[in-house]
Structure 1
Amino acid sequence: MNITYEVIPDNEIACCRELCNELMAFQKSKANMKPELFDNMKFETRMIPSIKSAIHNHIVVVKDDDKPVGYVYSNISPKETYSNDFATFFDLSTVTKNDVGCLSQFYLKEEYRQHGIGSTLFNLSMKWLQQFDDVEDYFIFVSNGNDIALEFYKRKGFSVSHDILDGFITVLRSNRKLP
């Protein structure tokens, strides 16, 4: 493996299209409730709107040679962004600042897992999120059935806050500076 990490600007997100669509298919394959909700989730309906609605975006692509094999997408967004027609992701009154940080999407092809690459992507995301002094609350949303991801984030210092959509999504939260 010849692994490199590259921060890409918003206007180059097309390189994440295939990986984002793989993430949505992976989440559907793991879902033990309402897997059909993933049928309309893809790059054009998830990543592009999220990037457009965020105040700041951070996308890190991991490559093996020149082939993208994973990515992490994080953003800083107004807390109101997380109350929409789909769901209210957290009680807005519990967030004291106007903006929140979110590790929004994280995907690594299976053959690249268990090599520390995911931890590196996670750490790059958290380092970027923590540079915003006006953000105190960080969120990660894990789809049902993705227990490996849930345990990964818990080991990294996030705690389960609550479930939404009758358990379809588990909300993880941290309101402290993570290492």
Structure 2
Amino acid sequence: MNQPEQMYNYHTWANQTILGRIKELPPSVLNQEVNSSFPTLAHALNHIYVVDKTWYLVLTGVDMREALQTCMPLNENILDSVDEYIHLFAQLSDQYNKWFQSQDDLGQTILLDNPYAGIRQTRLSEIVLQVVNHGTYHRGNISTMLRQLGHASVMNDYALFWYQEPAKV
């Protein structure tokens, strides 16, 4: 397994870990208002999903502007239950994993026309690491939001992920 794929597996694990923690809490916590980067945990989770989906489309050959147009309406699709987010993230993770299986060269570059930042040659591996980094950033937001709502978060650091994976001998 290559490093970008390993990092994506961490991203999937960390999402599942934080979702599992939220699932342990009363269902109302998902949509409880908080004064933070996002108005609710559901909004934060939805944002991670929408961005992950957008980058997935880019990785599969969709122009970034088209991927954004496709995914932007999903920003309004705030779900009512943690189980729905668990299902949504699992489906997208399956799509990413199938994509990884079809890739021979993550060093391959594409011309990325990012309407927010400009045009550049970008390696597929860089996009995968962007997905992981973005998710890590916003899981940090979610941890802070949980604390503001009076609940403990859960550790989801990459170093902990190392110990969650079966040892490869």
Normalised by the length of structure 1, the TM-score is 0.27
Of Structure 1 and Structure 2, which has the larger fraction of its residues in helix? 2
Greater C-alpha Rg: 2
Higher RCO, 1 vs 2 (CA within 8 Å, ≥6 residues apart): 2
Q: Compute the TM-score of the two structures, normalised by the length of structure 2.
A: 0.28
